[in-house]
Amino acid sequence: MPFIQRCLYRAEAIEGNIRSRFCGERFIQAVEDAMKREQVSRLSLFADGSRLFLYYEGHGEQVRPEILLPEANSWLAVWPGGGVERRWAAMADIFHYQAPASEQHWKRRYKDSVPYGRIARLKPEETASYVYYHYQYQEERPGDGDKYGIIGLHENMLFFYSELPATLEPAPYKGKLNTSLRPDDWAAAMDPHFIKWEESPNGQEIWRELELVREVRISAERQGTKHA
């Protein structure tokens, strides 16, 4: 099991003011208490209308978002499928510029970095091609972009999490591929994969920027020890 768990989820909010609900003092205190108890060091929540996207990092066993944000359950729609009632749908890590190699390697260089999120939609018939290209890129050129950049996929929705300013540094490991097949004109190769957003701001026809609703960080000194 990796020592740092990186988790991406999506959810659908029931009608209401998302920011006021997720930024209330009582809610944030409950989130901080849960993060300390479950050894989760940072959490970022983004929104696009009623769509919610969640990123967090934990140290040790993977923890469900329902445990970290218990008071949010009544504000979220039940996501169909999965066999159990759930509010958050897990998004698979299909691409990352770097993977945590050690606790020291994963420490942030920029203490005041800002979480940044955006979303895109894949044409269903292009999903396999998109994943193929991105695995190729990931394993041919590790460290080619923001160290903390990661893309999650659920159904045909993509969620890209990164941090600003970008941390650009070589990866401390080699990729799994020795090939050099990544397309030189990456944008042209990717363009046919997407369903473009209608009436989006200029430059966001494919990747639409998300609103950062809330970020919570817990220092190592404030994290508790999880007991069995």
**What domains can you pick out in the chain, each with its CATH number?**
4-222 (3.30.70)
Chain centroid offset of residue 67 CA: 17
d(CA 31, CA 5): 18
Structure tokens that stand for 90 in this block: 């897990």
Does residue 178 surpass a pLDDT of 90?
yes
Helix (H) or strand (E) holding 151: strand 150-154
Residue range 44-80, pLDDT digits in tens: 999 999 999 999 999 988 899 999 998 898 889 998 8
> Does the pTM exceed 0.85?
yes
Residue range 71-116, pLDDT digits in tens: 898 889 998 876 678 899 999 999 999 999 999 999 999 999 999 9
Burial of 26 (0-12, 13-18, 19+ CB in 10 A): exposed
d(CA 68, CA 102): 24
- pLDDT value at position 95? 98
Question: In 10 A of CB 61, how many CB atoms?
Answer: 11
- pLDDT value at position 222? 55
Beta bridge partners of 58: 5, 40
d(CA 110, CA 165): 8
**3-state SS class at 36:** helix
